[in-house]
Amino acid sequence: MSSTIGIIPTKNTEVTFGEIITLSEKYINSSLNTIQLKEKIKLQIHILNYDKVENKESYHEVDLTDIFEWKKNQLLIFSIKGVSGVIKTDYDVIFDPETSPNDPWWKLNTYKNETKTILNLEDKFEKAKKTNKSWFLHRSDEKDKVINICGAIISASIAELTSALISSTDQTWEFGQYFVEKEEFLNFYLHPEKNITSPLKPEKVINNSSFWDKLKKLWS
């Protein structure tokens, strides 16, 4: 599984929380239908706020009609009822004159050198400059595959709605995949054995219900 999934939108950053949740649930549950599971996954979403002055954390409900954005001192939290772990999501801007005054778009220049498979990359990076946003979904600390694979599908849904590019990194496999488009990303993320030769470490099964056992077998 990827340790962090990065997303750079190239348009439509006015997408709402509700649109992302709806599309993500559609893709996740359609996968379950292929093995004739009638149960539906329901994604939950909250904002985690950190108060530096009081050194205190608090959770807030999300209005699904709101635009997909939050403050820098906050994290967006995706979770699934009945499944261990969460997907923590933060955001940043791409333009960074503080780190490199002579090259404030240095992040895109770095990505460009490592990105090999995207057509019309220059054009897409120019569009990315206009949106000037990036999102990062961090895998759960839990060893349960379900939450992390759902995180990948959430990422792909965000990418579809915002015409975004996606990257992934993996500390366990010491393997990184720089920016690609949605289909190539999912092919790597859901079927990594096709792309790497190092053996995978066995993962601990946390939930033994027949529903989740079948779900894990689907995405194993």
- Supply angle C-alpha 115, 134, 109, rounded to 5: 35
Rounded to whole angstroms, the Cα distance separating 102 from 121 reads: 22
Instruction: Evaluate whether 95 touches 105 at the Cβ level (below 8 Å).
Output: yes
Rounded to whole angstroms, the Cα distance separating 152 from 138 reads: 10
**Average confidence score pLDDT of the chain:** 79
From first CA to last CA, the distance across the chain in angstroms is 11
* pLDDT tens, position by position, 19-42: 999 999 998 888 777 666 667 889
**Furthest-apart CA atoms within the chain: distance in Å:** 57
* Range among 80-84, 95-99, 152-156, 174-178 rated most confident: 95-99
Of the pLDDT bands very low, low, confident and very high (cuts 50, 70, 90), residue 206 is: very low
**Bigger pLDDT: 182 vs 177:** 182
* pLDDT tens, position by position, 51-78: 877 788 899 999 999 999 998 889 999 9
- Supply angle C-alpha 93, 94, 98, rounded to 5: 90
**Bigger pLDDT: 114 vs 204:** 114
pLDDT of residue 191: 57
Contacts 24+ apart (CB under 8 A), 29-36: 31/153, 31/218, 31/219, 32/215, 32/218, 34/218, 35/214, 35/217, 35/218
Q: Which of 50-64, 89-103, 108-122 has the lowest mean pLDDT?
A: 108-122
Rounded to whole angstroms, the Cα distance separating 132 from 197 reads: 36
Of the pLDDT bands very low, low, confident and very high (cuts 50, 70, 90), residue 97 is: very high
Mean pLDDT, to the nearest integer, of 111-133?
87
pLDDT of residue 113: 76
Mean pLDDT, to the nearest integer, of 205-216?
47
Instruction: Evaluate whether 10 touches 164 at the Cβ level (below 8 Å).
Output: yes
